[in-house]
Amino acid sequence: MTTLDLFTDLPQPTPAEKVRQLRRDLERYSHAYYVLDNPIVPDSEYDRLYRELQALEARHPELVTPDSPTQRVGGAPLAQFEKVQHRIPMLSLQNGFDEAEIEAFDRRVSEELGIQAVEYTAELKFDGLAVNLRYEKGQLVQAATRGDGTTGENITANVRTIQCIPLRLDTEQPPPLLEIRGEVLMYKQDFQDLNKRQLENGQKTFVNPRNAAAGSLRQLDSRITASRRLRFFAYGLGELEGAAPLQSQQQMLDWFMQMGLPVCPERRTVTGYQGLIAFFKEIHARRDTLPYEIDGVVYKVNRLAQQQKLGFVSHAPRFALAHKFPAQEMLTQVLDIDVQVGRTGAITPVARLKPVFVGGVTVTNATLHNEEEVRRKDIRIGDTVIVRRAADVIPEVVSSVLEKRPEDAREFIMPTHCPVCGAPIIRPEDEAVARCSGGWINCPAQKKRGLELFASRKAMNIEGLGEQLIDQLVDKAVIQDAADLFTLDVPTLAALDRMAEKSAANLVAECGKAKETTLARFLYALGIRHVGETTARTLAEHFGSLQAIIDAPEEQLLQVEDIGATVAASIKAFFADGHSMALVNRLQANGVHWPEGGGKKQDQVLAGKRFVLTGTLPSLTRDQASEIILSLGGKVSGSVSKKTDYVLAGAEAGSKLEKAQALGITILTEEDFLAMTKTGKLV
């Protein structure tokens, strides 16, 4: 008998046994590759075993299970995401921005626990999307977004395509129920590779890794999610049943790792304020070298019993704090400074920058506000400047770096005439802003920006009338003003660039729908200086008709709440202008109408109450929530102050929520808000 005969005589594994072995091997190799970043076999070997498993499952479909590695590819598109109720809310964290706030946090925790030196876990604050993974008897059965903290969206099909998330926990004794909280994110290199593919395929690129991760995770077609490399880091617990009690945050993270869940290695147990700050400084110094984007670090009291004792305040735990990084700053060069012409003729200097990546976005332009600001900061063409994304959102030129100024750097000279229409640029005595004197009748730039406001969602809401189409309509003299929008026909529109007959017909229909509006929307759409959405509504409710507003003397306008001398003068000047009145009359002649009369409504349950909206609400848009508040007599503000009565907060609420909590302002969920508006009982 030969050696070959000996092996031939050995019992061969059954298909079920072979499938189980292949799955164990593939999961082990996948974990080493995606979680540990330490491949233990070549890709070719993994691919060979994967194909072998696919072939076996094809021959024996009864052996296919949901936790097989072959089931990560994504399925048919969904119509929409189902809602998921979090039995244990996914809370947000309070933020700290400087060392004094961190010291105060440590002092408060120490005093409330009655111990001198508190032990913390220090972890990273990832710039991704928070999710909840639900495992039952070790198998992944559901994944949901954070949503508003209590209600999220079911994204199970998409999460199953993320290779580093185990479909079955690697443990012989999984708890009957385990919910894992963590962050889905995209590594920087994977983000760059994705954008490269998007460009090659003629598709839209993503702004930053967070947007790419969020967009990928919220695809209705999970096959798209499967085509993009997403990652996951576990950092917290939701529901847990049938497991031995955990003693600390670190023990919990170690337990996650033992079950095959990815946990970020950049974590540490530290003691007291000094330990927290040392970790922050170390990570801040290494931020740009990390393979993923972070926007700060997170501190948590390590002992779970102490966490429970400290409890929660409002919608955040008292035992944890996010220490945010300061706004990112980068150096770049000013290639030129030119000016933009706004809707009201404002001439705004704009720095054209050598492209620079700041805070997750490539910045090429930054407003310099006005001529005085340029002089104050001494920004010159050719200068090397510090560019910052204030609050990681708005590009801002902080200052020039004088020691890097070239000899041929040129000062900015404000033009004397409008670069668009050639009219003289004037500088009113009481304003810092220079303005084109051409007016919207003569200046195409003012006309275009005015038409954009007129068609916007909060004004006449003409869907499909965007910036590029408005540019064509004005540049080709198809329309002279907003009234001409309501005389457009399909053949005229279809003859424009990038317009087909169907899109032309849709726009004509939208203009037809827009004829039926409200007085408040109409007033806002006119673009009267200093008359925003709230003021327009106040005027409409106070006077009840357009003619009453036109006829009102300035003294009567001043009697209206929140209308001062500047606003009143602007309203009178607008309706005293012949061109403006001609536009108003032509709009009405072309069919624009609204119900008039009535004055203020009687049921003003929110009268005088100031609201600030922040975050994403579960079912209402911000516009819808604002509409409800304003219709019930309330006011909507963009910033939190001592005058704010309520903050309506949704998912991923930011600094506005934190400031409101610090000021002791009442925080409302959408549910609280709707109940209050329905019953009329103020919280």
Give me the torsion for CA of 549, 555, 559, 561, rounded to 10°.
Answer: 70
The C-alpha atoms of residue 190 and residue 83 are separated, in whole angstroms, by: 30
Domain boundaries, the chain: 3-72, 95-104+117-270, 329-426, 440-589, 610-679
The answer to whether the beta carbons of residues 150 and 209 sit under 8 Å apart is: no
Cβ atoms of residues 316 and 654 within 8 Å: no
- The CATH fold of domain 329-426: OB fold (Dihydrolipoamide Acetyltransferase, E2P) (2.40.50)
% of the chain with per-residue pLDDT over 70: 93
The catalytic residue among 125, 447, 635, 656 is 125
pLDDT at 410 over 60: yes
Strand-pair partners of 379 = none
What is the distance between the alpha carbons of residues 629 and 633, in angstroms, rounded to a whole number?
7
Contacts of 308 (CB under 8 A, 6+ apart): none
- pLDDT tier at 664, thresholds 50, 70, 90: confident
Residue 73's nearest CA partner among 90, 93, 91, 57 is 57
Q: How far is CA 621 from CA 146, 626, 654, in A?
A: 17, 9, 17
- pLDDT value at position 562? 76
Contacts of 422 (CB under 8 A, 6+ apart): 438
Q: Give the alpha-carbon dihedral of 158, 162, 165, 166, to 10 degrees.
A: 90
43, pLDDT greater than 70: no
For residues 50 and 271, which has the higher predicted lDDT (pLDDT)? Answer: 271
Give mean pLDDT, residues 119-142.
95
When mean pLDDT is compared over 213-217, 268-272, 311-315, the highest value belongs to 268-272
pLDDT band at residue 552, thresholds of 50, 70 and 90? Answer: very high
CA separation for the pair 188, 290 (Å, rounded): 9
Q: 137 an active-site residue?
A: no
- Tokens 């590009």: give the residue: 395
Query: Is 46's pLDDT higher than 90?
Result: no
| Contact status, residue 290 vs residue 266, Cβ threshold 8 Å | yes
The correct answer on CATH 3.40.50.10190 for the domain covering 610-679 is yes
Confidence of residue 538 (pLDDT cuts 50, 70, 90): confident
Residue with the bigger pLDDT between 602 and 81: it is 81
626-660 as b/e: b if 16+ CB within 10 A: bbbbbbbbbbbbeebeeebbbbbbbbbbbebbbbb
CA 156 to chain centre: 22
CA dihedral 121, 122, 126, 129 (to 10 degrees): 20
Q: What are phi and psi of 321, to 5 degrees?
A: -150, 140
327 has pLDDT over 70: no
- Rounded average pLDDT over 595-613: 75
| Half-sphere exposure at residue 471, Cβ-oriented, CA atoms within 13 angstroms | 6
214's tokens: 């969020």
> Was domain 3-72 assigned CATH 3.40.1740.10?
no
Q: Which residue has the higher pLDDT, 91 or 647?
A: 647
Let me know: does 348 contact 340? Beta carbons within 8 Å: yes
Return the CATH number of the domain spanning residue range 95-104+117-270.
3.30.470.30
Q: What architecture does CATH give domain 440-589?
A: Orthogonal Bundle (1.10)
pLDDT at 7: 45
Q: Are 234 and 180 in contact (CB under 8 A)?
A: yes
Q: Is 26 helix (H, G, I), strand (E, B) or coil?
A: helix
Q: Report residue 423 CA to chain centroid gap.
A: 40
Structure-token pair, residue 11: 């019992």
Q: Are 382 and 409 in contact (CB under 8 A)?
A: yes
Centre a 10 Å sphere on the Cβ of residue 365 and count the other Cβ atoms it contains. Answer: 12
Phi, psi at residue 154, to the nearest 5°? -75, 110
Residue-level pLDDT at 608: 83
**Where do the DSSP E strands lie in 199-263?**
231-241
Q: Count CA atoms within 13 Å of residue 534 on its CB side.
A: 17
pLDDT score of 34 more than 70? no
pLDDT per residue as tens digits for the range 167-200: 999 999 999 999 999 999 999 999 999 989 988 8
Give the mean pLDDT of 459-479. Answer: 95
Indicate whether 360 pLDDT > 80: no
Residues 28-56: what's their mean pLDDT?
Answer: 72
